[in-house]
Amino acid sequence: MSAVAAIDCGTNSVRLLVADADGTPRERLMRITRLGQGVDRTGRLADEALERTLDVLREYRRVADTHGVTSLRMAATSASRDAANRDEFFDAAEAILGVRPELLSGAEEADASFRGATAGLDPGLGPFLVVDIGGGSTEFAVGSTRADGSAVLEGAVSIDVGCVRMTEKFLHHDPPLPEELSNCLGEVALHLDDVQRELPALASVSTFVGLAGTVTNVAAVELGLATYDPERIHHFLLTKDAAEDVFRTLATESLAERVHNPGLEAARADVIVGGLCVLVSVFRCLDLRECLVSESDILDGLVAGLVGPAAGGAPDR
């Protein structure tokens, strides 16, 4: 049976979803390559980060070939948006994959994330706020879904805060100093003021859906998972109080201590506190009490775009 595939190339990780021609997922893979290493400071993709990422794309090309993938798309997001040398990266990626990466704007990234995260949710839980905390940026999308699963997007915005960007910019000690945490939280809060101004539909939201590695890792830590279990993570209800507890624990530990928390991916331990600064600020500033954690995300939205309107189509605006 033929298959389709999508690759999400972010600031911190590169992820692959292979699906049947009707959009049913077959395999998901994730590798942390830290493509955005130093981009906030230099404005360029570092040579070593490029090599790590291209190695993973070679791996994903082999996986796609094994599944008989006939249609593939790759989306590049925050780090590539910020990098002066992204064309060098895109040329190399195209040579490996046979397709050129798509540079998504923040709004396009939010669109795809919203579509992927809400496709399997009861429309009665809406309107939804979907928040995708990435390595270099965080996307916010507000909208609802129809009975057929199609999305009706009311507004979307992207801000330049993420687990890697916040860590590199503010969190320089191990563990972070109280004033570093305060400065980081303050920066995120300023950006969230902009989000509230630009998305008045936030006032009508019924369900907050959280995506990506920071959110899923915090859920895994809260659950104390010795082995990551996506079935237990998907649609787990993470409360504000639980997120705050995980934040207090991880932010006061050294990296050597932090990596021993069950549920925390070791390769993410150095940037998880930066990501938590974003997550707890979203809870605090937007006065939210619980987050529905989703394993379905931008990859599912990208795949839906490959398989056509029968799988959900593009969100209306």
71-86 pLDDT, tens per residue? 999 999 888 988 999 9
Q: Per-residue confidence at 120, pLDDT binned at 50, 70, 90?
A: confident
Do 122 and 106 form a contact (C-beta atoms < 8 A)? no
pLDDT tens-digit map of 55-64: 999 999 999 9
Q: What is the pLDDT of residues 220-271, one digit of tens each?
A: 999 999 888 999 999 999 999 999 999 999 999 999 999 999 999 999 999 9
> Tokens standing for 95?
């040579």
Predicted pLDDT at 312: 38
Q: pLDDT category, 219, cuts 50, 70, 90?
A: very high
Residue 314: exposed, middle, or buried by beta-carbon count in 10 A (0-12, 13-18, 19+)?
A: middle
Domains of the chain listed by start with CATH number: 3-103 (3.30.420.40), 107-293 (3.30.420.150)
Contact 160, 195 (CB under 8 A): no
Tell the residue number behind the tokens 């009861």, with chain if given. 122
Q: Give 13-34 as a DSSP string.
A: EEEEEEEETTS-EEEEEEEE--
Decide if 48 contacts 35 (C-beta within 8 A). no
Query: What is the Cα 37 distance to its own chain's centre?
Result: 16
Coil/strand/helix, residue 243: helix
Distance of alpha carbon 86 from alpha carbon 69, whole angstroms: 26
> What value does the mean pLDDT of the chain take?
92
pLDDT recorded at residue 310: 40
Q: What is the per-residue pLDDT for 305?
A: 85
Q: Which residue has the tokens 């331990």?
A: 269
Residue 302 is predicted with a pLDDT of 92
